[in-house]
Amino acid sequence: MAELSTPHRRWTPARLDVRLKLALLCTASLASLQMQLYGLLGLLLPFALLAIARRASLGARIRELRWVFWILALVFAARALFTEGAPLVSLGPVAVTRQGLQEAVNACLRLALMFVLGGVFIGLTPTGEIKAAVQWYLRPIPGVPAARVATMLGLIARFIPVIFAEAARTSEAQRARLGDRRRSPVGRLATFGLPLVRRIVLSADRLALAMEARCYSELRTEPELAARGRDFLAFGLGLAMLAVALAV
Amino acid sequence: MVLASLFAALTAAGAYLAIPIGPVPIVLQNLFVFLAGLLLGSRWGAASVAVYLLAGIVGLPVFAGGTGGIGRIAGPTGGFLLGYLPVVFLVGRLTERRPASGARDVAAMAAGALLLYACGAPWLKLATGMPLSQALALGVLPFLPGDALKIAAAAVIAKSLRPLMRMP
C-alpha cells in the first residue's frame, strides 16, 4: 500500500505557493528601483549563490548568460560616461565621473538582481504552476479571457521546441542545397523563413484539428494552488528582507 | 488562438534564430512580429504579442538569452520589447480587410519599424542615461539595413503564406 499513499513532501522554498512567489518577485523588482548599493548587494549575493548552487556547471551557466554581461557592460559604460559630475578620469571628450560611477554600479546591480531573481523563480517553479498562477491573477480582471491566456501560455511552451527542431531541419536542408552560399540577403532570409514558417503553420493546423477532434476546451483541470501558513510565513520573511534592503 | 500562440512562440524563438549575413547576424524576432501583424491582423496579432510579453514578464524564458522576468522590461531593450505591441497592432490595422498588396505590406511594416524605434530609442536613453543621439547611434542606426531586409523578406513570406492561413 505504501506506493499508493501520497508520499510525504518536505516543504522547501521551491514549494512556496506560486502566486506568492510571483507576487514576491514583482514586489522585489519594483522595490529594487528604490534600493541603494548595500541593499542591492545584500539581496543579490545570497540569490546569486542560490542560482549558482542549483547549476551543475558554473561554466555552462556563464556561457548561457554571456549576453547578460554584455547588457550590464553597456549600461555600466553608458551611465559612467554620460552622467554629469566631478570627473575622475578623462577619456578624450568624455569623462568618468564619481556620480556616474555610483549610478553605473547601482543600475548594474539593479538589473543583475532582476535577472537573478527571475532565474531563481523559473528554476524553482514548473511551467504548469506559473500558467495556473497567471490564470488566477487574471481571472478577476474584466474583459481578459484568463483561461484562454493560460491555454496560450501552455501552447507557447509546447511550440518552442517544435520551432527549434524545424529550424535545425530547415537550416540543414538549406546547407545541403548550398543555400548558405546564396548571395542575396533577402533571398537567404526568405529561403530560410518561408519553409520554416510554412512547416510550422501546417503543424499548428494539425494541432488545431487534433484539439478540435478531442473536444479540447479552455476549461481544463488546473494544478491545485493552495497557500498554507508556512507559505505566508515565507512570504512575510521575503517582504521583511525587502524592507531591510530598502532601509539600508 | 493556436496560430496566435504559434506566432508568440515564433517571436520567442526568433531571438535565437539568426541568419549570418554580414558582420551583424540578422535576428528574426521582429520579422515574426511583422508577420504576426500581416497574417493574423491587428486583434490576434496584438493578442499574440501580448501573451508573449506576459509569458516573459512572469518569468518564462522567452526573451533573448533564455531568460524572462520584469528585469528585461526594465533593461535597455525593454522599450523595443513593449514596442512590439503597438507595432503589431499598427501593421495589422494597416493591412487587414484590404486586398493583399505587397506595396501596402511593405509600407505598413516600414511604419511599424519607425514606431518600434520611437518606442525603443527613448527607453534605451532612459535606461542607460546616454544622450538621445548616442541611443539612436547604438540602438537604431546599426539595425536599419537588417530591418530593411527583414521587411522585404516578410513581404515575400506573407504573400506565400496568406493562402494557408484561416483566420476567423
| Mean pLDDT of all residues in A40-44 | 87
Q: Model confidence over B102-152: pLDDT tens digits?
A: 899 999 999 999 999 999 889 888 888 788 888 888 888 888 888 898 898
Q: What percent of chain A has pLDDT over 70?
A: 87
CA-based nearest residue in chain A for residue B64? A67
Q: How close is the nearest chain A Cα to the Cα of B158, in Å?
A: 9
Considering only CB atoms, A186 lies closest to which of B8, B75, B152, namely B152
Q: How close is the nearest chain B Cα to the Cα of A122, in Å?
A: 6
Q: Model confidence over B38-96: pLDDT tens digits?
A: 999 999 999 999 999 988 887 777 777 666 667 778 788 888 889 999 999 999 999 98
pLDDT of residue A2: 39
Residue A33: DSSP 8-state: G
Q: Is the pLDDT of residue A170 over 80?
A: yes
Cα(B91)–Cα(A21) distance, rounded to whole angstroms? 37
Most confidently modeled of A16-25, A165-174, B17-26? Answer: A16-25
Closest CA to B52 of B76, B38, B77, B32: B32
Q: Is the pLDDT of residue A40 over 90?
A: no
pLDDT of residue A3: 39
State residue A210 phi and psi, 5-degree precision: -65, -40
> Contact A14/A124 with Cβ under 8 angstroms?
yes
pLDDT of residue A7: 42
**All residues at 6 or more sequence positions from A85 whose CB lies less than 8 Å from its CB, including other chains:** A97, A98, A99, A100
A90: β partners: A95
Record: contact A189-B153, CB cut-off 8 A: yes
| Cell numbers placing A158 | 509546447
CA-based nearest residue in chain B for residue A206? B2
Amino acid B165 reads: M
Cα(A28)–Cα(A62) distance, rounded to whole angstroms? 24
| Mean pLDDT of all residues in A174-191 | 74
Record: contact A156-B59, CB cut-off 8 A: no
Question: How many Cα atoms are found within 13 Å in the side-chain-facing hemisphere of A58?
Answer: 5
| Mean pLDDT of all residues in A34-49 | 85
Most B CBs within 10 Å, among A189, A203, A218, to test the B interface: A189
Name the residue with higher pLDDT: B38 or A214: B38
A157 CB neighbours in chain B (<8 A) are: 60
Name the residue with higher pLDDT: A97 or B46: B46
pLDDT of residue B33: 92
> Contact B123/B1 with Cβ under 8 angstroms?
no
Q: How close is the nearest chain A Cα to the Cα of B115, in Å?
A: 22
CA-based nearest residue in chain B for residue A200? B6
pLDDT of residue A80: 81
> Is residue A8 very low, low, confident or very high in pLDDT (cuts 50, 70, 90)?
very low
Domain B2-164 has CATH 1.10.1760.20: yes
By residue count, chain A amounts to 248
**All residues at 6 or more sequence positions from B58 whose CB lies less than 8 Å from its CB, including other chains:** A22, A130, A133, A134, B68
pLDDT of residue A192: 78
Q: Is the pLDDT of residue A242 over 80?
A: yes
Record: contact A149-B67, CB cut-off 8 A: no
Q: Model confidence over A140-149: pLDDT tens digits?
A: 888 888 888 8
Q: How close is the nearest chain B Cα to the Cα of A3, in Å?
A: 33
> Is residue A5 very low, low, confident or very high in pLDDT (cuts 50, 70, 90)?
very low
Name the residue with higher pLDDT: B44 or A209: B44
pLDDT of residue A230: 86
pLDDT of residue A65: 65
Count contacts between A and B (CB, < 8 Å). Answer: 194
Q: Where are the domains of chain B?
A: 2-164
Taking all residues of chain A, what is their mean pLDDT, rounded to a whole number? 78
> Is residue B34 very low, low, confident or very high in pLDDT (cuts 50, 70, 90)?
very high
Q: Is the pLDDT of residue B10 over 90?
A: no
